[in-house]
Amino acid sequence: MNISAQHSSGIAVPFDRARLDRLMDDAGIDVIVATSKHNVQYLLGGHRANFFDYMDATGITRYLPVMVYPKGAPEKAAYFGHRLEKFQREVNPMWTPETQTSCAGSVDAMQKAVDHTRKHGMKPKRIAAEFAFLPYDSSIVLRGAFPDAELVDALFVLERQRAKKTPDELKKLKYASEAVIDSMNAVMANHGPGASKADLMEALRREETNRGLTFEYCLITVGTSLNRAPSEQKWEKGGILSLDSGGNFHGYIGDVCRMAIQGEPDAELEDFLGEIETIQRAAMKPVRVGALGREIYAAAEPLCAKSKHHNHLEFLAHGMGMVSHEAPRLTESGPVPYPATDADRPLEAGMVISVETTLLHPARGFIKLEDTVVVTEFGHEVYGEGARGWNRGGTAA
């Protein structure tokens, strides 16, 4: 992120420090101990261990990055990383006044964080740790060091912090979205009848990688099947294809879904996708600064309810950015369970929302559009607008 908040100590912090301090104060949190790769990357302004980008297991332990941030005291912030991160540190030093890249696993990394906190005389009454990303052995070290402190989950505060994206974050999200669309276009155009789902997914992986993305996943269907796993099932003449893929660009996810067909769509298929497009546009329309999160659902759900396919239609809107489901949280009834915290909160400029409408038609197959919508000062912007209709498959066998 190319944002830095200058503290009175002269330390340039690469995130909105005032916002984080305010969120911590509201929650009564004295110190945050971040241990997820995405939140550590965010707090460090972009650093992520390249050796452990794919896997965390190492020897008899696991990789664990530990970031310590005391409320209102960035001069006491610290980062503790693996010994192999020292090479990245030499090229791009971290902003944290205390930085150690000499850890080997989860226990010693947390012990160094505890020692640092004690050394600076911090006596936190409430420590926020990432419960879902805190190994049991590390939690024993943290809990044992501060037995009188209350240990709470840092998820909500860190998610609220990340919800309002900076211009640099939005630039990454826009590129990721557009690069996934371009990759899908290439795959659809260059594969004719007989291509398997496994072949199509592998081709998409290569296309996304060639555009600088880290391929994360592809949910794929062909023909009338609703199964979204890669397989040897073939995309045959006259069959439809759905590609729903996430490609990661420097920590930020481009997540869109587009449709294609081998041949020409009939009137029924045109109507199906046209109805989905209408619901998508209706859901996007209220997205603006100050709108309540529930207005998105209020615009889309009546259209779904009156559709003659309502029993097979699914609508979902959720926040996204570094994580595929993050704030703003708009529904408590979606496939990923969480409270609808933002249903009655106003949207802020810089928030990013994924809008998706799916028709699981029992006879014609899986038909879906998914878009990335950004709240702007003047309304909203859709990232990756292209390829919204029935894209044509290639002619090669």
The structural domains of the chain, with segments of one domain joined by +, span 5-162, 167-392
Q: Which CATH superfamily is domain 167-392 in?
A: Creatinase/methionine aminopeptidase superfamily (3.90.230.10)
The rounded distance, in Å, linking the Cα atoms of 80 and 103 is 7
| CA proximity to 276, closest of 368, 366, 142 | 368
For residue 124, what are the β-bridge partners?
none
The rounded distance, in Å, linking the Cα atoms of 320 and 172 is 13
In this prediction, residue 9 carries a pLDDT of 59
- pLDDT, tens digit (0-9, with 9 covering 90-100), for 247-278: 999 999 999 999 999 999 999 999 999 999 99
Backbone angles phi, psi at 66, to 5 degrees: -130, 120
In SS3 terms, 39-56 reads as HHHHHHCCCCCHHHCCCC
The rounded distance, in Å, linking the Cα atoms of 276 and 299 is 13
Q: For residue 244, what are its two tokens?
A: 């729903």
Alpha helices in 34-148 (DSSP H): 37-44, 86-91, 106-119, 136-145
In this prediction, residue 316 carries a pLDDT of 97
Are 194 and 350 contacting, i.e. CB atoms less than 8 angstroms apart? no
Are 1 and 42 contacting, i.e. CB atoms less than 8 angstroms apart? yes
DSSP 393: P
In this prediction, residue 2 carries a pLDDT of 46
Structure-token match 């199906």, residue found: 272
| CA proximity to 265, closest of 360, 389, 396 | 389
Q: Which residue type, as a one-letter code, is found at position 144?
A: G
In this prediction, residue 335 carries a pLDDT of 87
The rounded distance, in Å, linking the Cα atoms of 317 and 285 is 13
In this prediction, residue 371 carries a pLDDT of 98
pTM equals: 0.94
Q: Cα 325–168–288 angle (5° rounding)?
A: 60
Are 79 and 102 contacting, i.e. CB atoms less than 8 angstroms apart? no
Question: For 236, what's the count of Cα atoms within 13 Å in the CB-facing half-sphere?
Answer: 6
Are 252 and 169 contacting, i.e. CB atoms less than 8 angstroms apart? yes
Q: Cα 156–159–165 angle (5° rounding)?
A: 155
Which parts of the chain have pLDDT scores under 50?
A: 2, 396-397
In this prediction, residue 7 carries a pLDDT of 55
Q: Which CATH superfamily is domain 5-162 in?
A: Creatinase/prolidase N-terminal domain (3.40.350.10)
In this prediction, residue 4 carries a pLDDT of 55
Helix-helix angle 197-210:167-189, to 10 degrees: 140
| CA proximity to 374, closest of 324, 333, 320, 331 | 320
